[in-house]
Amino acid sequence: MQEFKDATAMAQAVRNGEVSSVELVQDALFKVKQLNPTLNAVVHLQEERALREARTRNFSEKPFAGVPLLLKDLGQCQKGEPSTAGSRLFKNILQTHQDTLVAKLEEAGFVIIGRTNTPEFGFKNMTEPSLWGVTSNPYDLSRNAGGSSGGAASAVASGMVPIAMASDGGGSIRIPASFTGLIGLKPSRGRIPVGPNGYRGWQGASVNFALTKTVRDTRSLLEVLQVEQMESPFILPKLLKQQLYASIERPLKIAVIEDSPIGNKVEDSAKKALNRAVRFLQEKGHSIEKIQWPVDGIEVMKNYYVMNSVETAAMMDGIEKMLQRPLTKEDMELMTWGIYQSGQKILAKDYSAALNQWDYWTKQMQECHGDYDVILTPCVNDIAPKHDQYPMKESIRVALESIEQYSVNEQQEIIWKMFEKTLELTPFTQLTNITGQPAISLPIYCTQEGLPVGVQLMAAKGREDLLLQIAEIFEQEHQWNRKD
């Protein structure tokens, strides 16, 4: 089987009759079986179904004709297949409905071959669910691929598939993209289809998209997935084709933020990645100005944890109804139990106030983008972590065991301390989930040891086109995964 640059090249070869979808699917399945015992990126394969679809479906004129695709094992439900969310609660349950997103993917010509690993309910920035085990980074097997879309990142970076679906509720596309040298776009709120079960996704903070190797795959996927979905609570006008495929025709004004939004030290690898991006953009004639974060990053994260707690408690109520029994601590990982219990006591009026704050921060960021085309920051604060780099402290474990006995404020303090060290590794991504802006991780730097570290670009809501235009400049100039 010949090697293809990306999914776009695969689809073109299928349409031209140079290769069949069956051959592509067989090759992807072979690569998964060959590589997965080492990486643990894929937790479910649907070999028979995928090959049957590859043989029988009509792929003519489809933008991703016959291309094999992996879904994330969190949401992205396909009728008749599992979606465990990395939780043993769903291990033996098959989905009875098809998500609008999945229908769109199939309509675009993709052949779904399986599902990728994710931390339980996507709560961590590392992929290590007790149900499926850790996912390793193809660049260094002793390191994690990141999370929560770590399985997807490992699958694409290792070459199992050219593109894999992912989702991002706090950096879950961008973080693993940065750790594995991939492109990771988080689209604007309202850009990607939602439903028919669940339209809000952490009140719009969580968005589906993919991990890719090329800008053209990213752009093409955005073009086929974007919707103006009137039944959704979040509606965004579609990007016109001429917007999506335009080039930058003027010098951009780019704001650069060097510091962490929560005040911790920024590591040398993140600084080097950022400085490389700054130098390149200056060489291309763009204006660079250093600024401070327009919002209080610590307050953003405290608000984020309140949202996460309440949404988790509501989700667990729904699971109890589905299973027709109460949930216990033994049903889930201790971290999940803590988040679940911390959402039980938060008052509705306090949650409403927290969501109102999102609108204020959105306004502040929109005003900032009135002065700057894009904002450039580190994406992660270091190289991918070792698998055992962040063990849970015993004091946190003890507190989580009896978290229901604490007050609301005490519970939120426990949650903060539980995430504190891993948040210091990835403090840059959560803001755009709150504000609904698009952001992209670009793989422009590698350490001397060959470990990727990405940078992040943020744009005003609805301006994915601008992020892709900038990404294309880096790509055309061969700036991906460059060492000093």
CA atoms 25, 27, 29, 35: torsion sign: negative
Active site residue 172: yes
Sorted by sequence, the CB contacts under 8 Å of residue 402 that are 6+ apart come out as none
* Count of Cβ atoms closer than 10 Å to residue 70 Cβ: 31
The active-site residue out of 62, 72, 186, 213 is 72
List the one residue out of 245, 258, 400, 249 whose CA is nearest residue 334. 400
C-beta separation of 81 from 46 below 8 A: yes
Letter string b/e over residues 46-68, b meaning 16 or more CB atoms within 10 A of that residue's CB: beebbbebbeeeebeebbbbbbb
Letter string b/e over residues 170-200, b meaning 16 or more CB atoms within 10 A of that residue's CB: bbbbbbbbbbbbbbbbbbbbbbbbbeeeeee
Give the pair of three-digit tokens for residue 242.
């001429």
Letter string b/e over residues 285-319, b meaning 16 or more CB atoms within 10 A of that residue's CB: ebeeeeeebbbebeebbbbbbbbbbbbbbebbeeb
Place of tokens 């698998």: 387
Please give the C-alpha separations between residue 105 and each of 66, 112, 224, in angstroms, as whole numbers. 11, 9, 8
Give the pair of three-digit tokens for residue 294.
């327009």
C-beta separation of 438 from 218 below 8 A: no
The active-site residue out of 21, 87, 136, 148 is 148
CA 223 to CA 423: how far, in whole Å? 33
Active site residue 154: no
List the one residue out of 384, 357, 369, 364 whose CA is nearest residue 449. 384
Give the pair of three-digit tokens for residue 192.
């990607």
Sorted by sequence, the CB contacts under 8 Å of residue 50 that are 6+ apart come out as 25, 29, 68, 111, 112, 113, 114
The active-site residue out of 87, 149, 167, 172 is 172
- 3-state SS assignment for residue 247: coil
Which residues participate in catalysis according to the annotation? 72, 148, 172
